[in-house]
Every structure is written in structure tokens, then in C-alpha cells.
Structure 1
């Protein structure tokens, strides 16, 4: 059972990491780096917020939540970007760090609310 769970996370992580690099490569060169990390982290926070309401079974939570979205979003790249930006522009680094955290929290909150809305509309078993 432990191996199956690890494989689910690994398979999902492969998909998520591939999606992250795809988004990064689709952006113009000037927008890569901190901006692409911000985009994937905020988008990943929103999507996880939506899905958390629907992923009740552990295998799906491991595959999509921990795997796909864990591989898609990236705290380590965010941390390095903040440190590198700090060395050149301390004020902008602070704005970027705080803005990223606030945007991620707002995206997750919005995603949970959207997920709750979808859950309320979904017909229950045995209901036409």
C-alpha cells in the first residue's frame, strides 16, 4: 500500500512538473523566473482549493493534490527568487514575497469557495 501511494504521488508529480515547465516556456523570456513561479503558485493554490472539496478518496488526493499540484507549484523556487531579488532590490523583494503569499491565500480561499459552490450543485446519490 505504501508503494502504491508513493507511485501515485510520483506519477502526479511528473505531470505537475511537466505542466510547470510548459507554462514557464510559454511565457516570454522577460516574464520567466519570479513571474512564472507566481503564476503557477497562485494557479495551483486556486485549483487545489477547488479540488479539495471533491477529492474525498485518498488515492485521488495523493495523485492530484500531493502529486500533480505538488509538482506544479514550487516553494523552493519562490524562496530562491525572493533571496535573489533581495540582493538587487530589497523593497521589491518584500513586495513580491508578501504579494505572492497574499495572492496564494486569496486564490486558495476563492478556490475553496468555488469548490463548495460546485459541491452544492452536484446531485446526491439517488437524486434525479
Structure 2
């Protein structure tokens, strides 16, 4: 994939868009986690970026159907893919289970999953309104 994809000009541009988005997404996630950690011992930084990512993917889905594929890949696969993190979410849950914080673990699952769904739906709704 790597070398042959980069030889194709279009594929090479898509790789650049995705890579650029991923850099921004990863640094945003890291910054959000550092910032939020100053105020709470809870893994709220992970929650925040996952909810923002759900909103973002819904918004892009709603607004960007006619945008160039390169831009959509950069936003969804790159930026939002690096911003959100299933593995960090699951590790947060594992640590809550280790500490036997069952109510917090249950609430965290509900807030993340239901909140993510609501944020995604809101993003789609607002994105589609921008197009109309």
C-alpha cells in the first residue's frame, strides 16, 4: 500500500489530507486531556473528545456530501479518527472496574454511548440544515 499509494498523485494527496488531519486530531486530543485533567480526576478529556468527535462526524456527514473526497477523508479518517479514541475509553472503563467503581463505570458507558449518539444526530441535523 505505502509506496504504490504515494506514487498515485490522487492517492498521495489523500494520504497527505489524512495525515494532516490526524496530526491536528491527535494534538487536540492530547491538549484536551491535559487541560481537563487540571480540573477533575475523572477521564473527562476522553469523554469530551469522543463526544466532540461524534458531533463532528455527524456534522461532516450532514454537510459535506458534495465536498471533495480528499477533504472528507482528511476530516473523518484523519482528524476525527485521531481525535476520538475507543481504546482510551475502554481503558478508562477497565480502570473503573479495577477500582470497583461500578456506578461510575455504568454511568460512563451510558453518558458516552447515549451522549455520542445524541451528538452525532445533532451534527447530522445541523450539517444538513447548512446544505438546505
1:85 aligns with 2:89: no
Q: Which residue number in structure 2 is paired with residue 9 of structure 1?
A: 18
Give TM-score scaled by structure 1 length.
0.84
**For residues 12 and 33 of structure 1, what CA distance do their matches in structure 2 show?**
27
Give TM-score scaled by structure 2 length.
0.81
Q: Which residue number in structure 1 is paired with residue 53 of structure 2?
A: 44
Q: Which range moves more in the overlay, 67-76 or 22-31?
A: 22-31
CA drift of 1:64 comes to 0.7
Q: Which residue number in structure 2 is paired with residue 25 of structure 1?
A: 34
For the Cα contact (< 8 Å) 1:42–1:103, is it kept in 2?
Answer: yes
For the Cα contact (< 8 Å) 2:37–2:45, is it kept in 1?
Answer: no
CA drift of 1:92 comes to 1.5
Gaps of 5+ in 2: 1-7
Select which of 87, 108, 127 maps to 1:96: 108
CA drift of 1:98 comes to 2.1
**For residues 51 and 62 of structure 1, what CA distance do their matches in structure 2 show?**
10
Q: Which residue number in structure 2 is paired with residue 111 of structure 1?
A: 123
- Say what the alpha-carbon RMSD is for the aligned residues: 1.7
**For residues 42 and 23 of structure 1, what CA distance do their matches in structure 2 show?**
12
